[in-house]
């Protein structure tokens, strides 16, 4: 299958490399890593074993890239304004677009530009970051849950999941993408925001009883927001939150991406992770006061902290 990776950060580089290693034809739109990858290829330093790809197809603009079967989007969501320019040159009549971006609203934006029938979304559970140019580090996990924006379990989604699994990426096709997205938010909303705001790691948060309680309060609020969205089945609040906290305990002194972004004075993905979920909850008559407060505090910090 021919694939274009748009947004070659740690996520795009890692999944693209895994797919190319498994024999897929992968084209990367590159910025920071362009020269390094054209000269020396792409290195993956992974807890599952390192590998190197000698010949990587890297491009500086989408116009130079071929049309592909599938476009995979790994852009930071505050770059979504550029989606039309970046994606349109890659589309054949039946090209599928899979966004692995964070939070809510990405599928809707893609659908408004390119038609809803093309769009799939996926939730990635991946710990990775970029090393020196031409190198990506895979620190843990990597599972993807993907599904159709229009809902339902399609043959196309199952084929994509099968492709990822052949590439040693755990992947599951789901019928209810919206539920998968909200389940991820139950983790992202408390931990991304609280870690970014406090510059404490996940284990420091959980070791401080009032913060641990605050994580639980926020999780309960997100679950309530999720269950108001007409999901195929409700998220069971207490079980699911306890499960996520157990998982997080196992991650040690983890630094969520938003914490690193704030530390490095980069913009935060506040729109997709906070503003749009809050809008969706509000449309169902739910206020989510603690999430609103966290969003306000993070947004206030953006006035001061952001340089780009």
Q: Which residues bind a second copy (CB under 8 A)?
A: 194, 197-200, 204-205, 208, 210-211, 213-214, 217, 289-290, 292-297, 299-301, 303-304
Residues contacting 118, CB < 8 A, separation 6+ = 91, 95, 96, 97, 110, 111
Q: Assess contact for 244 and 186: CB atoms under 8 A.
A: yes
Q: Closest approach of Cβ 257 to a second copy, in Å?
A: 20
Run of H or E residues at 205? helix 202-207
Q: Assess contact for 9 and 19: CB atoms under 8 A.
A: no
User: What is the rounded end-to-end Cα distance, in angstroms, of the chain?
Assistant: 36
Q: Which is nearer to a second copy, 150 or 297 (CB)?
A: 297
User: What tokens does 214 get?
Assistant: 């605050």
Q: Closest approach of Cβ 270 to a second copy, in Å?
A: 11
CA distances (Å), 282 to each of 15, 57, 63, 165, 242, in order? 35, 44, 40, 38, 26
Q: Closest approach of Cβ 211 to a second copy, in Å?
A: 5
Catalytic residues: 184
Q: Which is nearer to a second copy, 100 or 222 (CB)?
A: 222
Q: Closest approach of Cβ 187 to a second copy, in Å?
A: 18
CA atoms within 13 A on the CB side of 261: 20
The Cα–Cα gap between 231 and 227 comes to 6
**b/e for 66-89, b at 16 or more Cβ within 10 A?**
eebbbbbbbbbbbebeebeebbee
The Cα–Cα gap between 274 and 185 comes to 9
Q: Closest approach of Cβ 297 to a second copy, in Å?
A: 7
Q: Assess contact for 89 and 63: CB atoms under 8 A.
A: yes
């Amino acid at each position: 299958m021919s694939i274009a990776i748009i947004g070659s950060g740690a996520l795009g580089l890692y999944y693209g490399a895994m797919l190319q290693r498994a024999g897929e034809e992968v084209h990367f739109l590159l910025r920071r890593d362009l020269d390094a990858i054209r000269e020396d290829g792409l290195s993956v330093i992974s807890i599952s074993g390192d590998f190197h790809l000698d010949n990587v197809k890297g491009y500086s603009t989408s116009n130079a890239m071929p049309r592909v079967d599938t476009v995979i989007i790994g852009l930071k969501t505050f770059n979504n304004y550029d989606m039309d320019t970046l994606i349109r040159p890659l589309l054949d009549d039946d090209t599928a677009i899979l966004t692995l971006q964070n939070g809510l609203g990405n599928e809707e934006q893609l659908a408004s530009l390119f038609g809803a029938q093309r769009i799939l979304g996926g939730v990635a559970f991946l710990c990775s970051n970029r090393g020196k140019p031409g190198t990506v580090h895979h620190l843990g996990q990597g599972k993807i849950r993907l599904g159709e924006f229009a809902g339902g379990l399609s043959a196309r989604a199952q084929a994509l999941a099968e492709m990822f699994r052949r590439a040693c990426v755990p992947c599951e096709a789901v019928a209810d993408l919206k539920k998968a997205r909200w389940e991820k938010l139950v983790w992202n909303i408390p931990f991304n925001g609280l870690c970014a705001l406090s510059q404490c790691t996940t284990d420091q948060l959980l070791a401080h009883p009032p913060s641990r309680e605050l994580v639980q309060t926020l999780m309960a609020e997100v679950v309530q927001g999720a269950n108001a969205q007409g999901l195929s089945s409700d998220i069971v609040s207490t079980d699911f939150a306890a499960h996520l906290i157990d998982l997080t305990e196992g991650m040690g002194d983890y630094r969520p991406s938003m914490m690193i972004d704030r530390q490095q004075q980069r913009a935060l993905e506040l729109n997709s992770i906070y503003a749009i979920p809050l809008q969706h909850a509000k449309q169902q008559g739910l206020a989510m006061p603690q999430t609103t407060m966290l969003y306000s505090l993070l947004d206030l910090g953006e006035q001061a902290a952001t340089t780009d």
